[in-house]
Amino acid sequence: MFEAVAEAAARWRSEDLPSRRAAVETTLKAPNRFTREALTFAIEQQMEGLSAPALRSWIGAPVRAARCTVGVLSAGNVPMVGLQDLLAVTLSGHRFLGSVSRKSPALLRAFATDAGLDVTFVDAHMLFECADAVITTGSDRTRTWAAAMARQHGIALGRCLLRGHRFSAAVVDGQEDAHERHCLAMDALLHEGMGCRSVALILAPIGVNQGPYVASMKRLRSAFPAHPVTSRALGAPHALLEALAVPHSGSAKCGFLVSCGEATAQGPAHIRWVSYDDWQHAMRMLSTMQDRLQRTFVRRGLIDQVPPTLPAEPLGQAQRPALDWKADHTDTLAFLRAL
């Protein structure tokens, strides 16, 4: 199965593959904020990591005994989101019963078909009727709903992996070079800043010049233009910043906003720039939001200065999650093995 997935991934790296092309066109017509550029990036990035040795090293030994039907409710906010769950469930030996968002109805199905994986997709409500265990990703409401549905269908809480909504932060020290600033722009704006790994907050020392960072974002937008919905959606928050005289850069036309203020995550493509006194101050701020913080991104030279309680990765990795990355600091494979 590892080889079949790897071979499908290799085929999917070609934009001309008919099944990929069809899935992309269907996805672009769905009610989401995916642009063609971002879709291409996401598919390329995901497929690049799916070699047979990498998959084998990640999955380890397949489940021999209690083979379960694992219901997976995938989010639809980022292209190819849910692929890690799909592979974890199927390659570890469980049965995959998926439900995809109407925002991204085609990509997972098409890839699973091309890889010859034995998967079934059903309506979200059906998922709970047929599954022995569930993995869901969503807002607090989704989580509450999923917990209630699991209870209703006799799925024990220990057999539910219910992920909440989170965001990520970046900490800069003003020493980032042009490449690192470009990486930060990718982390913050690719996929319109959607998804828990996207950078919503940039913590910077008081007095650091915001200009070069904003310039990198503007340059990024020329390669990855904002989805028209994002541009329109930025109109109201931009108007509010103007009304409240909050210092900010960018605009709806630019396809992003950077506003100064308290460490509160804003909407898609709206980055909050938060000033800190010293490094310890920045770490304390992040610690207070630990339950909502997915990842902390810093330039490579600063990784060691981030406490282990705040999982850190280098700038530029937000949209390039490793196969074995742990959403909500929970190991999906460990969850699956324990079933």
Binding-site ranges for another protein (CB under 8 A): 31, 33, 73, 75-77, 99-103, 123-124, 136-145, 147-148, 165-167, 193-196, 198, 200, 229-230, 232-233, 235-237, 239-240, 242-244, 246, 262-268, 270, 288-289, 292
Q: What are the Cα distances from residue 103, in Å, to 30, 78, 133, 201, 221?
A: 5, 9, 24, 25, 23
Q: How far is the CB of 167 from another protein (least distance, A)?
A: 6
Q: How far is the CB of 280 from another protein (least distance, A)?
A: 17
Name the residue nearer to another protein (CB basis): 77 or 92.
77
Give the whole-angstrom CA distance, residue 258 versus residue 200: 10
Tell me which long-range contacts 50-56 makes (C-beta under 8 A, separation of at least 24).
50/5, 50/6, 50/9, 50/87, 50/323, 51/6, 51/9, 52/2, 52/3, 52/5, 52/6, 54/323, 55/2, 55/5, 55/6, 55/87, 55/91, 55/323, 56/2
Name the residue nearer to another protein (CB basis): 93 or 193.
193
Q: How far is the CB of 281 from another protein (least distance, A)?
A: 14
Name the residue nearer to another protein (CB basis): 76 or 321.
76
Q: Give the residues across from 163 on adjacent strands.
A: 137
Name the residue nearer to another protein (CB basis): 20 or 227.
227
Name the residue nearer to another protein (CB basis): 64 or 102.
102
Name the residue nearer to another protein (CB basis): 94 or 103.
103
Which of 60, 81, 58, 82 has its CA nearest to residue 70? 82
List of residues 6+ apart from 111 with CB closer than 8 A: 8, 12, 23, 80, 83
Name the residue nearer to another protein (CB basis): 178 or 246.
246
Q: How far is the CB of 142 from another protein (least distance, A)?
A: 5
Q: How far is the CB of 233 from another protein (least distance, A)?
A: 4
Q: How far is the CB of 239 from another protein (least distance, A)?
A: 4
CB 75 within 8 A of CB 101: yes
Name the residue nearer to another protein (CB basis): 195 or 321.
195
109 conformational bin, left if phi > 0, alpha if psi -120 to 50, beta if neither: alpha
Q: How far is the CB of 39 from another protein (least distance, A)?
A: 17
Name the residue nearer to another protein (CB basis): 13 or 292.
292
Q: How far is the CB of 274 from another protein (least distance, A)?
A: 10
Q: How far is the CB of 289 from another protein (least distance, A)?
A: 6
Beta strand 248-251 with 256-260 is: antiparallel
